[in-house]
């Protein structure tokens, strides 16, 4: 009878040991899953920031092209101007455009 109790006790101890090992494995998996979820959230944020930066870059590029085009038109106007009054008028237009842009950017 003692041998049977000893065998049952040994089997019970082995089962408890196996249960402890499985619990430890599950905890490690849970930690790994949490880390991966955090990485996914971080990656989503980085993707969103990248998209926003791309949009701002596109807007800035378009604005620069517009400014360069206006600048070329003013240069062409100055080159074609025949009198000092025409040059002063173009310079006044440049200042007015600058003030208009400055007012928009301060809003």
Of 103, 95, 100, 104, nearest to 74 by C-alpha is: 95
Q: What is the pLDDT of residues 30-86, one digit of tens each?
A: 999 999 999 999 999 999 999 999 999 998 898 888 888 878 887 887 777 778 788
Residue 104 — very low, low, confident or very high, per pLDDT cuts 50/70/90? Answer: low
| Three-state secondary structure string covering the chain | CHHHHHHHHHHHHHHHHHHHHHHHHHHHHHHHHHHHHHHHHHHHHHHHHHHHHHHHHHHHHHHHHHHHHHHHHHHHHHHHCCCHHHHHHHHHHHHHHHHHHHHHHCC
Q: How many domains does the chain divide into?
A: 1
- Which pLDDT score is estimated for 34? 95
Task: Write out the residue range of the structural domain in which residue 68 sits.
Answer: 2-105
- Does residue 23 register a pLDDT over 90? yes
Residue 105: the pLDDT is: 59
pLDDT value for 70 = 79
């Amino acid at each position: 009878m003692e041998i049977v109790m000893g065998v049952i006790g040994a089997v019970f101890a082995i089962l408890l040991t196996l249960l402890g090992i499985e619990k430890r494995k599950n905890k490690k998996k849970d930690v790994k899953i949490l880390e991966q979820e955090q990485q996914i959230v971080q990656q989503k944020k980085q993707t969103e920031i990248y998209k926003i930066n791309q949009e701002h870059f596109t807007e800035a590029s378009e604005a620069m092209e517009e400014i360069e085009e206006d600048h070329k038109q003013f240069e062409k106007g100055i080159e074609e101007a025949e009198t000092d009054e025409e040059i002063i008028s173009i310079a006044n237009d440049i200042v007015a455009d600058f003030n208009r842009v400055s007012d928009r950017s301060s809003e």
